[in-house]
Amino acid sequence: MFANGGKAYEICKKYLKTQILNATGKEPIKLPSTSPANVNFSFERLAREWTVVAEALKDG
């Protein structure tokens, strides 16, 4: 389970963590927000951070 930004991550942890752990055996992963308002991350850095999603999909 990947969360797009801090707020989504906090909601996942608060309300869904147990269900996510039971279903996947893994903790939710916080990724930087892709919102245009997120000026702290360049496109290149966002792409680099988000490669964990592609890797997870490759691994099945």
Q: What pLDDT score does 22 carry?
A: 95
Q: What pLDDT score does 40 carry?
A: 85
pLDDT in tens, 2-60: 999 999 999 999 999 999 999 999 999 999 999 888 888 899 999 999 999 999 889 76
Cβ(16)–Cβ(28) under 8 Å? yes
Cβ(12)–Cβ(20) under 8 Å? yes
> Taking the model in full, what pTM does it have?
0.79
Q: What pLDDT score does 36 carry?
A: 86
| DSSP label at residue 33 | -
Q: What pLDDT score does 60 carry?
A: 67
Q: What pLDDT score does 2 carry?
A: 95
